[in-house]
Amino acid sequence: MLNNTDSNSFRILAKILLMTFALSSVGFITACDNQGPAEEAGEAIDESVEEAGDAIEDATD
């Protein structure tokens, strides 16, 4: 059986884990807003490949 101190320890641990999860979630969300140079370069490459594919489709039609 759980005594009172075990229950309090669990509640404190649960609160700490919840706060850690909430703060890390906020960090991940804000990190997604800022694009670094590698991500911008990747998007430029994706766009170039897509445009090249569209040009090839248009040429073969």
Q: Which domain holds residue 22?
A: 4-60
Q: How far apart are CA 47 and CA 39, in angstroms?
A: 12
**Number of domains the chain contains:** 1
**pLDDT tens-place string over residues 22-42:** 887 776 666 666 677 888 898
* pTM for the whole structure: 0.44
Q: Is the pLDDT of residue 61 over 80?
A: no
Measured distance CA(47)–CA(41) in Å, rounded: 10
| Residue 25: burial class (beta carbons within 10 Å; 0-12, 13-18, 19+) | exposed
Q: Torsion angle, CA of 29/33/39/40, rounded to 10 degrees? A: 170
Q: Give the amino acid at 45.
A: I
| Single-letter residue type at 29 | I
Predicted confidence at residue 57, as pLDDT, reads 83
